[in-house]
Structure 1
Amino acid sequence: MAKLKSLIGKLKDKASEGKAGMVHALRPNTRSLHLALLKSTTHNCTKPPADDCVAAVISYSGSRRYAPATVSAVLSRLQDTRDACVAAKSLIILHKIIKPDHNLNREFYIKDHHFIYSEGRNNLKINNFRDHSSHLTLELSPWIRWYVRYLDCLSSAYRVLGYFPNFTSYSKERAVEKNRVSSYKTGYLVHQTGFVVSFFECICQRPENPALYQNKIVDGIRELVAQDYFSVMPLVMVRLEVLNERLTKPDLGYTGSDELGPVLVRLEQTKEKMIGFSWRCKVLVEDFWFRGKGIER
């Protein structure tokens, strides 16, 4: 059965490439984009998208001219499939497109374009996505349903924070970020912190890791999410540090912690579910939770 599914998948991939070649014959740039997308979202469930094919798709997202077309192509691919392998790979590509380190023009559509949700509605309509065709696709299905929510939360976090600087907890960029954050009003700073905590909570809602079957696509998703987690963590640390300074120094104009207290409680509740990522950046993680405990409530 598995070999038959693999053969059918390969035939579908070849047919899709042939169709794309004919449809976009008169538009070579768009044709190249769609062919790269098809090659990176094959029906093969044994491995995540090929790096070179994904890089080809992402290269179009860096162009202000082709960025909307790139996003639309990925979303269309995702919307039109009921195959878990294709859907998961499409979401991985979308994730890489909206990551700051991959897309120089992300503000162009992160700010003005709702990828997945608008007015509280799921534009992709895959809340009930389920692929019963194999054990691997059954494992992938809950990850797809969760991944859609996660990417929406991630893009919203980008909008709220303004940008995601790439810095470590002890770099010069951290001092620049603290100086920027220090100019914010306290209420807005608490709001930002609460929103990032919501992002952590979304990560905590991820499905359990596959128990019986090794799933490299799930491993690829977890790796991307872990990278996001470690990118956001220093931003939270800076905001908590500024808020703590305002709490401990009444002359700064903020003496109460009624708004911040519940946010810190929610943050603490995410700690246990984040342990699975802690081995990657142990010093950063330990420092983060130590600083969080030191804030007055």
Structure 2
Amino acid sequence: MQPFAKFHLATLIDLHKWSTLSRNEIRPFLARFGVEPLGSKYPMLRIYEAVLGISPTGALEDDMLGQGLIRLGEAAGMIGLGPDVFLERLRAKKNAFRPFYVFGPKRHLMLRAQVEAMLRSPRNSWHALDPISGHALPASRLARTLKVPQSLIDALMADKDDLPARIITDGRVRYIVADVAHKLTSPSSGEAPAAGEEPHATEPREDSTNAVLASTGGMAGGLFSAASKRANRQTYAPRSRTESGSNARGGDRAYGAPAEAKLSGT
């Protein structure tokens, strides 16, 4: 697959190749992050920023993101590790590997370009990409950012098999704010389960959820927009543009973040 440019108008077939998701999954998956198509296609930059939380700053990063995602099981095979062993190492603090994305129990994905860069480099180097401020936050900051009671966040995190989308860097977990807001406003996202996944039964939310969300506009997009504006006023420490795996710096520290479901069949 040739890398996509950041303003490439991607079809569902393009996104299937880029993301590893099936074509039937793509529309409901992107809806979780508030991404709408332009006509019948999706500008890739919308997906980079809303889903991955990355905005490319030059041709190198544009090319990296355009090469798409790779399933964690495939990456493990390229590195010479079993999937479970690789997943355990990725969850460990201060590990030598690049960040990975968890979009569901069996959706552990990495950026293909970073995995391949690590394999090419004699020093296991890979080019780090700066996250967009406020795109993903540790669990401890979600209630304050979204202006909802902590009890709602605690209830959302109670189902370990249906957690919001998250990014794990150096064992530190950050939850993607748009998906958290989406889950708060829509107990059942309507997303088709990935191949091999069992659909999860949804539990009715407590009555206070509707009241709280009604007071914020009742829409995930509105919650995320407000949260982003607040988060963008924060200052993040600068990162090195090119980092070795052993020296790579992670994102925000997660406090008591639950462990991911065991990888199987990726």
For the criterion TM > 0.5, the same-fold answer is no
- Select the structure that is richer in strand: 2
Q: Give the number of the structure with larger relative contact order, counting CA–CA contacts within 8 Å between residues 6 or more apart.
A: 2
Higher helix residue share: 1
TM-score by length of 1: 0.25
TM-score after normalising by structure 2:
0.27
- The structure with more radius of gyration: 1
